[in-house]
């Protein structure tokens, strides 16, 4: 029979030439191997785990000199009769380093398929498997014969890791997989800026894993840069306005104790959240000199109009990250006073991050679908139409909300009120006209069944709803509630006297 050269073989032979034409740092590869119970099955007379052993050892021959290799196994230590522990069964069995074929072969020979398939958990753990001190491209090659079985979301995990600054590419190899597993593995590769390879038998698996290895080494992903570039003002007076929910990065390097000033407008009582992230590189600046460092830090702070600090978020120096490669800091809470605020980026941090990003988010806690807090008097009432108003809040220091509505003589209504979470207190609901004359004054339970009796409007005009709870009935944080101003049809049974 005529013997033909495989396209994979041709690709492998040309690897060294291709790599020599690509001038970049070494590529470090983490093989992530599924050793769950399903790998005990056979395909065309060969046990799947045996095929995987041969394929992985063959793929190692494609890794060029200078690249580091690591192997993480999952599903190999805890049997399926202990799902809780099996779904955390993921181990960096060969730490990242120059590949030792004999050691890797010994490891692979010793493992047996046992447990569930915690793919998402294993991908999450993999972010700590690469060296933080080594300049290299980072690649994960995942080999699996099935889908996640521990309730995780592998695609979302990869997306989150990359969004948080883990600069990695993820390639996946599906071995004798069904349509559901193949869809999941394709999604993981797409999220990880990699490629999916399919193998139906042992021979195809060896070829696919080699191709995945070669492809990951040849293709270099350019350095990811996150955030919208921006430059702040030099003082409070020159602060540059910025928007919420936009990830920004400074377009320049700062020295310690330098700040960029930004302006933030808070329209009403709000939940405020502040976040800062660093990447793996930074600059250590002293005078007019600087040097690259793998220990970047960053800090942002929110100040009020009196220039007093309200919140701050710091991403600390890598030396204090407990071995994690990237850092993120968060802070936030309730802002009850609307107005002008300032966000300051920078400060006395030991190393400044090259590419650090920051953002803030606001959830305005207005009442009646507005950005305004319902006051405690007729003059500060929020005007609402009949209907359901799902976003209303009692704040920490607030026990009365007053709403206004326009109605005509003879119209009939009732008022319902439902809390977002458990709240055991009663609420007093009072309806009165612009002269303070009451239409109803009832106490209702602050629960899903809480509503007033039907009431009639005595004359055309503007009416007011006072919602009053007891001061100190909750410990902290805003209480959200739904207010339903329900107009009853004339034919409604509830409209009768």
**Residue 214 to residues 58, 219, 347, Cα–Cα distance (Å):** 12, 9, 45
Closest CA to 32 of 179, 161, 222, 225: 161
Question: Across-strand partners of 146?
Answer: none
Q: pLDDT digits over 138-195, tens only?
A: 899 999 999 999 999 999 999 998 887 788 899 999 999 999 999 999 999 999 988 8
pLDDT for 144 equals 93
pTM: 0.48
Question: Between β-strands 259-266 and 240-241, what pairing exists: parallel, antiparallel or unpaired?
Answer: parallel
**Residue 404 to residues 258, 367, 434, 461, Cα–Cα distance (Å):** 49, 12, 10, 10
pLDDT for 79 equals 93
Question: Across-strand partners of 359?
Answer: 275
pLDDT for 225 equals 66
pLDDT per position in the chain (497 positions), as tens? 333 333 333 333 333 332 332 334 468 899 999 999 999 999 999 999 999 998 898 888 878 777 899 999 999 999 999 999 999 999 999 999 999 989 999 999 999 999 999 999 999 999 889 876 676 788 999 999 999 999 999 999 999 988 877 888 999 999 999 999 999 999 999 999 888 988 888 888 778 777 777 766 654 444 556 788 888 999 999 999 999 999 998 877 776 778 999 999 998 888 899 998 887 666 565 554 445 566 677 889 999 999 999 999 888 644 444 444 567 889 988 888 889 999 999 876 545 555 688 999 988 888 988 888 888 899 999 999 999 998 888 876 667 899 999 999 999 999 988 877 656 567 888 999 999 888 888 877 766 667 888 999 999 999 999 998 876 666 566 788 889 999 998 655 554 44
Domains of the chain from N-terminus onward: 7-218 (3.40.50.410), 228-364 (2.60.120.380), 382-495 (2.60.120.380)
Closest CA to 71 of 121, 31, 106: 31
Q: What's the gap between Cα 58 and its chain centre?
A: 37
**Residue 104 to residues 53, 57, 101, 109, 204, Cα–Cα distance (Å):** 10, 8, 5, 9, 22
For the chain, the first-to-last Cα distance in angstroms comes to: 98
pLDDT for 383 equals 95
Would you say 298 and 315 are in contact if contact means Cβ atoms under 8 Å apart?
Answer: yes
Cα–Cα distance for residue pair 373/357, rounded to 1 Å: 32
pLDDT for 66 equals 76
Angle between helices 101-110 and 48-60 (to 10 degrees): 170
């Amino acid at each position: 029979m005529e013997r033909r050269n495989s396209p994979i073989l041709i690709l492998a032979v040309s690897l060294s030439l291709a790599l020599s034409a690509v001038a970049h740092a070494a590529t470090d590869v983490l093989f992530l191997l599924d050793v769950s119970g399903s790998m005990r099955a056979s395909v065309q007379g060969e046990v799947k785990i045996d095929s995987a052993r041969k394929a992985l050892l063959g793929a190692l021959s494609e890794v060029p000199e200078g690249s580091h290799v690591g192997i993480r196994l999952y599903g190999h230590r805890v049997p399926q009769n202990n799902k809780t522990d099996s779904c955390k069964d993921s181990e960096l069995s060969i730490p990242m380093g120059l590949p030792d074929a004999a050691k890797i072969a010994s490891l692979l020979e010793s493992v047996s398929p046992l447990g569930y398939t915690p793919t998402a958990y294993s991908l999450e753990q993999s972010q700590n498997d690469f060296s933080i001190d080594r300049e290299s491209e980072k690649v994960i090659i995942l080999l699996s014969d099935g889908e996640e079985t521990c309730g995780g979301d592998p695609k979302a995990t990869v997306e989150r890791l990359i969004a948080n600054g883990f600069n990695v590419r993820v390639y996946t190899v599906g071995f004798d997989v069904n349509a559901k597993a193949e869809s999941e593995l394709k999604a993981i590769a797409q999220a990880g800026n990699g490629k999916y390879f399919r193998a139906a038998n042992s021979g195809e698996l060896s070829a696919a894993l080699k191709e995945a290895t070669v492809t990951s080494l040849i293709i270099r992903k350019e350095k990811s840069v996150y955030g919208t570039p921006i430059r702040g003002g030099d003082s409070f007076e020159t602060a540059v306005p910025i928007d919420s929910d936009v990830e920004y990065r400074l377009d320049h390097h700062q020295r310690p104790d330098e700040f960029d000033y930004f302006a933030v407008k808070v329209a009403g009582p709000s939940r405020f959240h502040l976040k800062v992230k660093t990447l793996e590189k930074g600059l250590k600046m002293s005078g007019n000199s600087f040097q690259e460092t793998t220990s970047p830090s960053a800090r942002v702070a929110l100040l009020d109009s009196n220039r007093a600090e309200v919140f701050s978020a710091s991403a600390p120096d890598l030396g204090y990250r407990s071995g994690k490669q990237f850092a993120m800091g968060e802070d936030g809470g309730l802002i009850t006073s609307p107005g002008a605020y300032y966000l300051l980026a920078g400060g006395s941090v030991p190393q400044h991050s090259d590419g650090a990003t920051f953002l803030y988010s606001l959830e305005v806690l207005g009442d009646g679908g507005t950005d305004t807090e319902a006051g405690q008097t007729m003059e500060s009432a929020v005007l609402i139409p009949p209907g359901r108003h799902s976003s209303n809040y009692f704040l920490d220091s607030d026990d009365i909300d007053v709403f206004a509505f326009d109605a005509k003589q003879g119209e009939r209504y009732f008022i319902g009120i439902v809390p977002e979470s458990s709240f055991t207190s009663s609420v007093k609901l009072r309806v009165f006209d612009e002269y303070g004359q009451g239409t109803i004054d009832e106490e209702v339970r602050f629960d899903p069944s809480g509503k007033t009796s039907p009431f009639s409007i005595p004359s055309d005009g503007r009416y007011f709803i006072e919602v009053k709870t007891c001061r100190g009935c909750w410990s902290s944080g805003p209480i959200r509630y739904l207010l339903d101003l329900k107009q009853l049809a004339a034919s409604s049974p509830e409209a009768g006297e």
